[in-house]
Protein backbone atom coordinates (compact mmCIF):
# COMPACT_ATOMS: atom_id res chain seq x y z
CA UNK A 1 0.00 0.00 0.00
CA UNK A 2 1.02 3.58 -0.64
CA UNK A 3 1.10 6.54 1.74
CA UNK A 4 -2.42 8.00 1.85
CA UNK A 5 -1.02 11.39 0.81
CA UNK A 6 0.38 9.90 -2.40
CA UNK A 7 -0.34 11.76 -5.61
CA UNK A 8 -0.76 10.34 -9.09
CA UNK A 9 -0.15 12.64 -12.05
CA UNK A 10 -2.43 11.96 -15.05
CA UNK A 11 -1.72 13.29 -18.54
CA UNK A 12 -4.43 13.87 -21.17
CA UNK A 13 -4.58 12.53 -24.71
CA UNK A 14 -5.93 13.72 -28.02
CA UNK A 15 -9.22 15.63 -27.85
CA UNK A 16 -8.08 17.91 -25.00
CA UNK A 17 -6.59 20.53 -27.33
CA UNK A 18 -7.91 24.10 -27.51
CA UNK A 19 -6.52 27.26 -29.08
CA UNK A 20 -4.86 29.36 -26.37
CA UNK A 21 -3.70 26.38 -24.31
CA UNK A 22 -0.48 26.96 -22.39
CA UNK A 23 -0.39 30.67 -23.19
CA UNK A 24 -0.84 32.10 -19.70
CA UNK A 25 1.59 29.55 -18.22
CA UNK A 26 4.22 30.64 -20.77
CA UNK A 27 3.54 34.32 -20.01
CA UNK A 28 3.86 33.83 -16.24
CA UNK A 29 6.57 31.19 -15.86
CA UNK A 30 10.01 31.21 -17.55
CA UNK A 31 10.20 27.39 -17.25
CA UNK A 32 6.94 27.03 -19.22
CA UNK A 33 8.14 29.49 -21.86
CA UNK A 34 11.39 27.56 -22.15
CA UNK A 35 9.42 24.31 -22.64
CA UNK A 36 7.62 25.78 -25.66
CA UNK A 37 10.94 27.05 -27.06
CA UNK A 38 12.43 23.55 -26.69
CA UNK A 39 9.45 22.07 -28.58
CA UNK A 40 9.72 24.68 -31.37
CA UNK A 41 13.40 23.86 -31.74
CA UNK A 42 12.88 20.07 -31.69
CA UNK A 43 10.18 20.27 -34.38
CA UNK A 44 11.64 23.04 -36.52
CA UNK A 45 8.45 25.13 -36.57
CA UNK A 46 6.53 27.39 -34.17
CA UNK A 47 4.34 24.87 -32.35
CA UNK A 48 3.97 27.47 -29.58
CA UNK A 49 2.25 29.89 -31.96
CA UNK A 50 -0.28 27.25 -33.08
CA UNK A 51 -1.03 26.40 -29.40
CA UNK A 52 -1.44 30.05 -28.38
CA UNK A 53 -3.11 31.53 -31.48
CA UNK A 54 -4.32 28.70 -33.72
CA UNK A 55 -5.77 28.42 -36.32
CA UNK A 56 -7.92 25.67 -34.86
CA UNK A 57 -8.00 23.55 -38.03
CA UNK A 58 -4.20 23.38 -37.90
CA UNK A 59 -4.18 22.48 -34.20
CA UNK A 60 -6.62 19.65 -34.99
CA UNK A 61 -4.20 17.94 -37.42
CA UNK A 62 -3.13 14.79 -35.58
CA UNK A 63 0.60 15.30 -36.19
CA UNK A 64 0.33 18.79 -34.65
CA UNK A 65 -2.23 17.94 -31.94
CA UNK A 66 -0.09 15.22 -30.41
CA UNK A 67 3.13 17.22 -29.83
CA UNK A 68 1.01 20.27 -28.85
CA UNK A 69 -0.81 18.45 -26.02
CA UNK A 70 2.44 16.84 -24.86
CA UNK A 71 4.20 20.23 -24.76
CA UNK A 72 1.43 21.96 -22.79
CA UNK A 73 1.37 19.01 -20.37
CA UNK A 74 5.14 19.15 -19.77
CA UNK A 75 5.08 22.96 -19.45
CA UNK A 76 2.38 22.62 -16.75
CA UNK A 77 4.31 19.78 -15.09
CA UNK A 78 7.52 21.80 -14.88
CA UNK A 79 5.71 24.77 -13.33
CA UNK A 80 4.04 22.42 -10.84
CA UNK A 81 7.07 20.30 -9.92
CA UNK A 82 8.65 22.90 -7.67
CA UNK A 83 5.42 23.27 -5.70
CA UNK A 84 4.21 19.70 -5.04
CA UNK A 85 5.61 16.52 -3.50
CA UNK A 86 6.96 13.91 -5.94
CA UNK A 87 4.21 11.68 -7.33
CA UNK A 88 3.99 8.02 -6.33
CA UNK A 89 2.91 7.03 -9.86
CA UNK A 90 2.21 8.59 -13.26
CA UNK A 91 -0.18 7.62 -16.06
CA UNK A 92 -1.39 9.08 -19.34
CA UNK A 93 -4.31 8.46 -21.68
CA UNK A 94 -3.05 7.18 -25.07
CA UNK A 95 -0.78 10.01 -26.27
CA UNK A 96 -0.62 11.10 -22.61
CA UNK A 97 1.44 8.00 -21.79
CA UNK A 98 4.35 9.73 -23.55
CA UNK A 99 3.92 12.76 -21.26
CA UNK A 100 3.92 10.33 -18.31
CA UNK A 101 7.21 8.83 -19.51
CA UNK A 102 8.75 12.30 -19.89
CA UNK A 103 7.61 13.04 -16.32
CA UNK A 104 9.19 9.77 -15.17
CA UNK A 105 12.43 10.53 -17.05
CA UNK A 106 12.11 7.47 -19.33
CA UNK A 107 12.30 9.59 -22.51
CA UNK A 108 13.75 13.07 -23.04
CA UNK A 109 11.25 15.82 -23.81
CA UNK A 110 12.76 16.62 -27.24
CA UNK A 111 12.70 12.93 -28.26
CA UNK A 112 9.10 12.58 -27.06
CA UNK A 113 7.94 15.65 -29.02
CA UNK A 114 9.46 14.34 -32.25
CA UNK A 115 8.21 10.80 -31.64
CA UNK A 116 4.58 11.83 -31.07
CA UNK A 117 4.66 14.09 -34.14
CA UNK A 118 5.63 10.99 -36.16
CA UNK A 119 3.10 8.87 -34.26
CA UNK A 120 0.37 11.31 -35.29
CA UNK A 121 1.51 11.25 -38.91
CA UNK A 122 1.76 7.46 -39.03
CA UNK A 123 -1.70 7.04 -37.48
CA UNK A 124 -3.17 9.49 -39.98
CA UNK A 125 -1.53 7.73 -42.93
CA UNK A 126 -2.33 4.17 -41.78
CA UNK A 127 -5.94 4.21 -42.97
CA UNK A 128 -7.40 6.18 -45.92
CA UNK A 129 -9.94 8.84 -44.84
CA UNK A 130 -13.45 7.38 -44.61
CA UNK A 131 -12.33 3.75 -44.23
CA UNK A 132 -12.32 3.80 -40.43
CA UNK A 133 -14.48 5.34 -37.70
CA UNK A 134 -14.82 5.61 -33.94
CA UNK A 135 -17.95 5.90 -31.80
CA UNK A 136 -18.68 6.57 -28.13
CA UNK A 137 -21.10 4.29 -26.32
CA UNK A 138 -22.43 5.68 -23.03
CA UNK A 139 -24.09 3.76 -20.22
CA UNK A 140 -23.42 0.18 -21.33
CA UNK A 141 -21.19 -2.51 -19.77
CA UNK A 142 -18.03 -3.66 -21.50
CA UNK A 143 -19.27 -7.27 -21.86
CA UNK A 144 -22.34 -6.14 -23.79
CA UNK A 145 -20.21 -3.85 -25.96
CA UNK A 146 -17.80 -6.70 -26.71
CA UNK A 147 -20.75 -8.84 -27.87
CA UNK A 148 -22.11 -6.00 -30.02
CA UNK A 149 -18.68 -5.42 -31.61
CA UNK A 150 -18.39 -9.15 -32.43
CA UNK A 151 -21.84 -9.16 -34.05
CA UNK A 152 -21.30 -5.89 -35.91
CA UNK A 153 -17.90 -6.86 -37.33
CA UNK A 154 -19.19 -9.22 -40.06
CA UNK A 155 -15.63 -9.96 -41.17
CA UNK A 156 -14.46 -6.37 -40.61
CA UNK A 157 -12.74 -4.77 -37.60
CA UNK A 158 -14.81 -3.47 -34.66
CA UNK A 159 -13.33 -3.37 -31.15
CA UNK A 160 -13.45 -1.39 -27.88
CA UNK A 161 -10.64 1.18 -28.24
CA UNK A 162 -10.89 3.32 -25.08
CA UNK A 163 -12.35 1.78 -21.93
CA UNK A 164 -12.63 5.16 -20.24
CA UNK A 165 -15.04 4.70 -17.32
CA UNK A 166 -18.07 2.63 -16.32
CA UNK A 167 -20.11 5.20 -18.25
CA UNK A 168 -18.06 5.65 -21.40
CA UNK A 169 -16.46 3.23 -23.85
CA UNK A 170 -15.21 4.20 -27.31
CA UNK A 171 -15.15 1.66 -30.15
CA UNK A 172 -13.01 1.70 -33.29
CA UNK A 173 -12.79 -0.11 -36.63
CA UNK A 174 -14.06 -0.13 -40.22
CA UNK A 175 -16.70 2.56 -40.79
CA UNK A 176 -19.55 0.23 -41.74
CA UNK A 177 -18.88 -2.11 -38.80
CA UNK A 178 -18.75 0.78 -36.31
CA UNK A 179 -22.01 2.17 -37.75
CA UNK A 180 -23.66 -1.26 -37.31
CA UNK A 181 -22.40 -1.38 -33.70
CA UNK A 182 -23.85 2.08 -32.97
CA UNK A 183 -27.26 0.91 -34.25
CA UNK A 184 -27.10 -2.29 -32.14
CA UNK A 185 -26.04 -0.37 -29.02
CA UNK A 186 -28.98 2.01 -29.50
CA UNK A 187 -31.39 -0.92 -29.87
CA UNK A 188 -30.00 -2.70 -26.81
CA UNK A 189 -30.35 0.10 -24.31
CA UNK A 190 -27.18 2.20 -24.39
CA UNK A 191 -27.80 5.65 -22.91
CA UNK A 192 -26.24 7.10 -26.04
CA UNK A 193 -24.23 5.83 -29.01
CA UNK A 194 -22.74 8.28 -31.48
CA UNK A 195 -20.04 8.45 -34.12
CA UNK A 196 -17.10 10.70 -33.19
CA UNK A 197 -15.56 13.37 -35.44
CA UNK A 198 -12.10 11.74 -35.58
CA UNK A 199 -9.70 11.50 -38.49
CA UNK A 200 -8.73 7.83 -38.08
CA UNK A 201 -9.77 4.63 -36.23
CA UNK A 202 -7.27 4.71 -33.36
CA UNK A 203 -6.41 1.78 -31.06
CA UNK A 204 -7.52 -1.10 -33.27
CA UNK A 205 -5.74 -3.51 -35.64
CA UNK A 206 -6.30 -1.16 -38.62
CA UNK A 207 -3.45 0.86 -37.03
CA UNK A 208 -0.91 -1.96 -37.57
CA UNK A 209 0.99 -0.06 -40.33
CA UNK A 210 1.41 2.89 -37.92
CA UNK A 211 2.53 0.56 -35.14
CA UNK A 212 5.25 -0.96 -37.33
CA UNK A 213 6.58 2.45 -38.36
CA UNK A 214 6.50 3.74 -34.79
CA UNK A 215 8.33 0.65 -33.52
CA UNK A 216 11.27 1.48 -35.80
CA UNK A 217 11.40 4.99 -34.27
CA UNK A 218 11.08 3.77 -30.66
CA UNK A 219 13.79 1.15 -31.21
CA UNK A 220 16.26 3.94 -32.03
CA UNK A 221 15.39 6.06 -28.96
CA UNK A 222 17.48 6.15 -25.82
CA UNK A 223 15.20 5.17 -22.96
CA UNK A 224 16.05 4.71 -19.27
CA UNK A 225 14.15 3.10 -16.40
CA UNK A 226 11.33 5.38 -15.18
CA UNK A 227 11.86 7.16 -11.84
CA UNK A 228 8.16 6.66 -11.00
CA UNK A 229 6.15 3.57 -11.98
CA UNK A 230 4.02 4.28 -15.08
CA UNK A 231 0.55 2.69 -15.32
CA UNK A 232 0.46 1.58 -18.96
CA UNK A 233 -2.71 1.68 -21.07
CA UNK A 234 -2.33 -1.58 -22.94
CA UNK A 235 -1.90 -3.93 -19.94
CA UNK A 236 -3.22 -1.76 -17.05
CA UNK A 237 -0.05 -2.69 -15.16
CA UNK A 238 2.84 -0.72 -13.67
CA UNK A 239 5.92 -0.35 -15.86
CA UNK A 240 9.26 0.11 -14.11
CA UNK A 241 11.87 -0.68 -16.76
CA UNK A 242 12.75 0.86 -20.11
CA UNK A 243 12.40 -2.24 -22.32
CA UNK A 244 8.86 -2.82 -21.02
CA UNK A 245 8.13 0.90 -21.50
CA UNK A 246 9.17 0.66 -25.15
CA UNK A 247 7.13 -2.51 -25.72
CA UNK A 248 3.95 -1.06 -24.16
CA UNK A 249 4.24 2.17 -26.20
CA UNK A 250 4.50 0.09 -29.39
CA UNK A 251 1.55 -2.20 -28.58
CA UNK A 252 -0.55 0.76 -27.47
CA UNK A 253 -1.10 1.87 -31.10
CA UNK A 254 -3.33 -1.11 -31.93
CA UNK A 255 -4.26 -2.07 -28.35
CA UNK A 256 -7.18 -0.67 -26.42
CA UNK A 257 -6.65 2.03 -23.78
CA UNK A 258 -7.64 0.37 -20.50
CA UNK A 259 -8.06 3.66 -18.68
CA UNK A 260 -10.65 2.62 -16.11
CA UNK A 261 -8.51 -0.42 -15.22
CA UNK A 262 -5.41 1.79 -14.86
CA UNK A 263 -7.22 4.11 -12.45
CA UNK A 264 -8.56 1.17 -10.43
CA UNK A 265 -5.04 -0.29 -10.24
CA UNK A 266 -3.79 3.00 -8.77
CA UNK A 267 -6.70 3.15 -6.32
CA UNK A 268 -5.84 -0.41 -5.23
CA UNK A 269 -2.32 0.88 -4.50
CA UNK A 270 -3.84 3.26 -1.97
CA UNK A 271 -3.75 6.50 -3.95
CA UNK A 272 -6.20 9.18 -2.79
CA UNK A 273 -5.24 12.20 -4.96
CA UNK A 274 -5.36 12.22 -8.75
CA UNK A 275 -4.06 15.29 -10.56
CA UNK A 276 -4.58 15.88 -14.29
CA UNK A 277 -1.68 17.88 -15.74
CA UNK A 278 -2.22 19.44 -19.17
CA UNK A 279 -4.97 21.00 -21.28
CA UNK A 280 -8.64 20.41 -20.54
CA UNK A 281 -10.39 18.38 -17.83
CA UNK A 282 -11.25 15.16 -19.67
CA UNK A 283 -9.47 12.81 -17.24
CA UNK A 284 -10.78 14.80 -14.27
CA UNK A 285 -14.29 14.15 -15.61
CA UNK A 286 -13.62 10.43 -16.11
CA UNK A 287 -12.23 10.24 -12.57
CA UNK A 288 -15.59 11.50 -11.28
CA UNK A 289 -17.28 8.61 -13.12
CA UNK A 290 -14.81 5.98 -11.84
CA UNK A 291 -14.56 6.93 -8.15
CA UNK A 292 -15.99 10.16 -6.75
CA UNK A 293 -14.54 9.46 -3.29
CA UNK A 294 -11.01 10.28 -4.48
CA UNK A 295 -9.63 13.82 -4.67
CA UNK A 296 -9.48 14.98 -8.32
CA UNK A 297 -7.44 18.05 -9.23
CA UNK A 298 -6.28 19.56 -12.50
CA UNK A 299 -3.63 21.99 -13.72
CA UNK A 300 -4.06 23.47 -17.18
CA UNK A 301 -3.58 27.23 -16.63
CA UNK A 302 -2.81 29.84 -13.96
CA UNK A 303 -6.25 29.70 -12.32
CA UNK A 304 -6.33 25.90 -12.00
CA UNK A 305 -2.69 25.91 -10.82
CA UNK A 306 -3.50 28.28 -7.94
CA UNK A 307 -6.61 26.30 -7.01
CA UNK A 308 -4.75 22.97 -7.03
CA UNK A 309 -1.84 24.26 -4.94
CA UNK A 310 -4.33 25.61 -2.38
CA UNK A 311 -6.19 22.24 -2.30
CA UNK A 312 -2.94 20.34 -1.80
CA UNK A 313 -1.93 22.60 1.06
CA UNK A 314 -5.23 21.76 2.77
CA UNK A 315 -4.77 18.03 2.19
CA UNK A 316 -1.23 18.08 3.56
CA UNK A 317 -1.93 20.56 6.38
Q: What is the 3-state secondary structure (H, E, C) of the chain?
A: CCCCCCEEEEECCCCCCCCCCCHHHHHHCHHHHHHHHHHHHHHCCCHHHHHHHCCHHHHCCHHHHHHHHHHHHHHHHHHHHCCCCCCCEEEECCCHHHHHHHHCCCCCHHHHHHHHHHHHHHHHHHCCCCCEEEEEEECCCHHHHHHHHHHHHCCCCEEEEEEEECCEEEEEEEHHHHHHHHHHHHHCCCCEEEECCCCCCCCCHHHHHHHHHHHHHHHHCCCCCCCCCEEECCCCEEECCHHHHHHHHHHCCCCCECHHHHHHHHHHCCCCEEEEECCCCHHHHHHHHHCCCCEEEEECCHHHHHHHHHHHHHHCC
Question: 93, 172, 203, 296: which is the annotated catalytic residue?
Answer: 203
Say whether 316 is catalytic.
Answer: no
**What angle separates helix 109-126 from helix 30-43, to the nearest 10 degrees?**
50
User: What's the CA angle centered on 197, arms 194 and 203, to 5 degrees?
Assistant: 85
Alpha-carbon span 265 to 231, nearest angstrom:
8
Question: 94, 99, 165, 296: which is the annotated catalytic residue?
Answer: 94
Say whether 203 is catalytic.
Answer: yes
Active site residues: 94, 203
Amino acid sequence: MTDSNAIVLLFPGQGSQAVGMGKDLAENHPIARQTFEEADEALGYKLSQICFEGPEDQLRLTEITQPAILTVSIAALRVLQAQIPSPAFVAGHSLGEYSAHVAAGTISFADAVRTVRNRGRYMQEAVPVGVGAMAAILGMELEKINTICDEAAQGEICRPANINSPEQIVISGNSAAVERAVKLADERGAKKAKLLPVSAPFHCSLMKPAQDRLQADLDKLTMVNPVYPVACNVDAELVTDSSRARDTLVRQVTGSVKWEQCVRLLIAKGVQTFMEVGPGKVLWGLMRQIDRSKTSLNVSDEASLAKTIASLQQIHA
